[in-house]
Structure 1
Amino acid sequence: MARTTPPRPVDIAALFPELAPLARQAVRLHPRPGEPGVRESSVGGPLLWPAGEEWPVCTEPHQHWEPPVSLDDVRRRRALLEAAWLRPRAPEENLLDPEQRALLDRLGAGHPAHTGPNPLLPVAQLYLRDVPGLAGPAGADLLQVLWCPLDHDEAMPAARLFWRDSAGVGELLTDPPAPLDVDHYGNYVPEPCALHPEPVTEYPAPHELPEELAARLHEWGEGTKAADGSGPGGAYYQYELSVAPGWKVGGWGPWSFCDPCPMDCPECGAAYRPLFTVDSGEWDGGSGSWIPLEDREPPAGPTGLRRPSDPPMVQIGRGYHLQLYVCPSSFDHPHYAAVQ
């Protein structure tokens, strides 16, 4: 089913014409539970990977706040809890029986960290035909994103980007290696999702605007509060009118708890531009106007383990974003990652 972002509550560029030239297109990916194949765009789905190409691994140091677990442990733990949440229960009945509780404890106990290379985990596969405005190197029609599902520097997974020509893949790799270690809580393991790309218009977060303009937007937002003082007030522009939440391509950076910093390519000095955003949820209490029209009615019956706002079940830090930036001069230059 397609997803439709409601029109913004206010045409902010009409009220503040200085914003008009800063408008950018972003493509909200709207990942939803599915069983995507290798020739479909997806989050957490299988990749169109050549059988003769070595599967990438991570050899960087890892940060282990808790013992790592296996990918199979994460999948089994989620399946156990999903079944439990969907099962009808009496008012005083526990979610898990003693045997299930013991199994859940075993699955979450973890194991000693491996010291060798850790195979990467598929995060997203984007066919350019499905994502308006997405462009890659000459001849490439497919972007694949993988990461090592453990914490690295800045407490985030280490991502890699691969561009390829899907027509030239040939024989496919059907049984890619799984990571040996995954973060203890499985926060970096995306569940398989089909995508429903939708272009939207974004404007910069207040942090990236001239100070005077940001101050006027804040003052204007204060004037939108209800008579009882409710509403986002000064943060109205930031939450509802600037940067769209959720997994997306392009657009602006979702700056929030940290200030923007210069992000220039070390190879050529060009300013990086946003390519791909991983979000910990598609909406929250402060961004209700971004909820797609098709998701506004609460689901009938139990929803299981997955929150409706987070079908991939990925959590970055305490509910943050991981954004990947690329150099506009060359796709061969290193990309940049930031948690915001």
Structure 2
Amino acid sequence: MPRTTPPRPEDIASVLPELAPLARQAVRLHPRAGRPSVHDGSVGGPLLWPADEEWPTCAEEHHNWEPPVSLDDVRQRRALLEAAWLRPREPGEDLLEPDRRAYLDKLQAGHQAHAGPNALLPVAQLYLRDVPGLAGPEGADLLQVLWCPLDHHNGLPAARVVWRNAASVGERLTDPPEPADVEHYGNYVPEPCVLHPEAVTEYPAPHELPEELADRLHDWGKAQEEDSEAGPGGAYYQYELSVSPGWKVGGWGPWSFCDPWPMHCETCDAQYKPLLTIGSAEWDGGSGSWIPLEDREEPSGPTGVRSRANPPMVTIGRGYNMQIYICPTSFDHPHLEVMQ
């Protein structure tokens, strides 16, 4: 089923024409639970990977507050909780029976970190044919993103960006290595999702605007709140009219808890541009107008352990976003990862 973002509550470029030249296209990916194949765009799905190409690993230092767990621990934990949430229960009955609670505790205990490289985990696979405006190196028609599912020095998983030509993949790898260690809570283990790409128009977050313009937007939002007796007031523009939440390609950065800073390629000093945003949720209490039309009806029965706003079950920090920036000069230059 396609996903359709409703029109913005206000045409903000008509209200403040200074914003019109700053409009950018973003492509919301709308990942939803599914069974993607290597020939599909996906989040958390299998990658079209050559059998004779080494699978990437991470040998960097990790910075985790809790002991790691195994990938199988995360999968079993989610399956156990899914079954528990879906089973009929009497009022006041515990979610888990004592034996299942004990098993869950065992799965959550973690283990001592393994020595040696940690295999990377597939995060996203994007066929350029499906994502308007996405372009890579000459001849590439496929973007693959993997990461080490542990916290690194910046508090994020360490990502690897791979561009390739799908037709050049001969015999494919059918049993890729899996990481021995993943983050304690499984926050960096995406559930398999199919994609429903949709192009939308974005404007910069207030943090990236001149102070005078940002102040006018704040005052305008407050006036809208007074007129309607509802809405986020001064944050109206930020949450509902500027940057779309969730997984997306391109667009503007979702700056929120910190201010932007100069981000330049360490090789050539060019200013980085956004490639991929990995969101902890596709909407929240302050951004309800971004909920796709097809997702507006509340389910009539139990929904299991997955949040409707976060089908991949990926959480960045305390519910933030991870954004991958790339150099506009060369795809061979290092990328940048930022938490916003």
Normalising by structure 1, what TM-score? 0.99
Specify the alignment match of 1:7 in structure 2.
7
Aligned to 1:27: 27
Question: How far apart are residue 231 of structure 1 and its match?
Answer: 1.8
| Corresponding residue of 2:181 | 181
Partner Cα distance (1:154, 1:136) in 2: 26
Q: Does 1:92 align with 2:92?
A: yes
Q: Tell me how far 1:38 sits from its aligned partner.
A: 0.3
C-alpha separation in 2, matches of 1:137 and 1:200: 24
1:146 corresponds to: 146
CA distance in 2 between counterparts of 1:77 and 1:171 reads: 34
* Cross-structure match for 2:258: 258
RMSD of aligned alpha carbons: 0.8
- The alignment partner of 1:101 has SS state of helix
Give the 3 Å change call, closer, same or farther, for CA 107–140 of structure 1 in structure 2: same
Question: Could you tell me how far apart the structure 1 residues matched to 2:118 and 2:196 are?
Answer: 31
Question: CA offsets per residue over residues 278-327 of structure 1, 9 Å max, x none?
Answer: 00000000000000000001012000000000000000000000000000
Q: Hey, what does 2:53 align to over in structure 1?
A: 53
Deviation at 1:211, TM superposition (A): 0.7
Equivalent position of 1:36 in the other structure? 36
Q: How does 1:110-259 map to 2 (within 5 A)?
A: 110-226=110-226, 229-259=229-259
Structure 2 counterpart SS, 1:125? strand
For structure 1, the residue ranges without an aligned partner over 5 or more in a row are none
Whole-Å separation in 1 of the counterparts to 2:230 and 2:193? 36
CA offset at residue 134 of structure 1?
Answer: 0.4
Residue-by-residue CA offset, 1:205-240 (whole Å, 9 max, x unaligned): 000001111111111001011468542111000000
Residue type of the partner of 1:38? Answer: V
Give a deviation string over 1:27-85, Cα, whole Å, max 9, x none: 00000000000000000000000000000000000012011000000000000000110
C-alpha separation in 1, matches of 2:112 and 2:143: 34
The AA in structure 1 aligned to 2:19 is: L
Structure 2 counterpart SS, 1:212:
helix
C-alpha offsets along residues 136-174 of structure 1, whole Å, 9 cap, x if unaligned?
Answer: 000000000000000001211000100000000000100
**Deviation of residue 99 (structure 1)?**
1.1
**Aligned twin of 1:76:** 76
- For 1:266 and 1:66, the matched residues in 2 are separated by 32
Q: Separation in 2 of the partners of 1:251 and 1:153?
A: 26
CA-CA distance at 1:114 after TM superposition: 1.0
Q: CA deviation at 1:330?
A: 0.6
| Number of residue pairs aligned between Structure 1 and Structure 2 | 340
1:25 CA displacement = 0.2
Question: Structure 2 vs 1, CA of residues 228 and 277 (structure 1 numbering), >3 Å: closer, same or farther?
Answer: closer
Aligned-residue offset at 1:337? 0.6
Following the alignment from structure 1 to structure 2, what is the Cα–Cα distance between the partners of residues 193 and 300? 22
- Aligned residue for 2:327? 327
Look up the equivalent residue of 1:259 and give its one-letter code: D
Residue 278 of structure 2 aligns with an amino acid whose one-letter code is V
Which residue type is aligned with residue 328 of structure 2?
P
- CA offsets 1:255-296 (integer angstroms, 9 cap, x no match): 000000000011111100000000000000000000000000
Supply the distance in 1 between the matched residues of 2:70 and 2:219 (Cα, whole angstroms).
50
TM-score normalized with structure 2 length: 0.99
Give 1:310's aligned amino acid: N
How many Å separate the matches in 1 of 2:214 and 2:164?
A: 41
Structure 2: runs of 5 or more not aligned:
none
Tell me, in whole angstroms, the C-alpha distance in 1 between the residues paired with 2:24 and 2:10: 17
Could you tell me which amino acid in structure 2 is paired with residue 145 of structure 1? V
Q: Which amino acid aligns with 1:101?
A: R
Structure 1 consecutive aligned stretches of length 4 or more whose deviation exceeds 3 Å = 226-230
Secondary structure in 2 aligned to 1:322?
A: strand
Give per-residue Cα distances to partners, 1:102-154, cap 9 Å, x unaligned: 11011111000112100000000000001010000000000000000000012
Equivalent position SS for 1:143: strand
SS in 1 for 2:266: coil
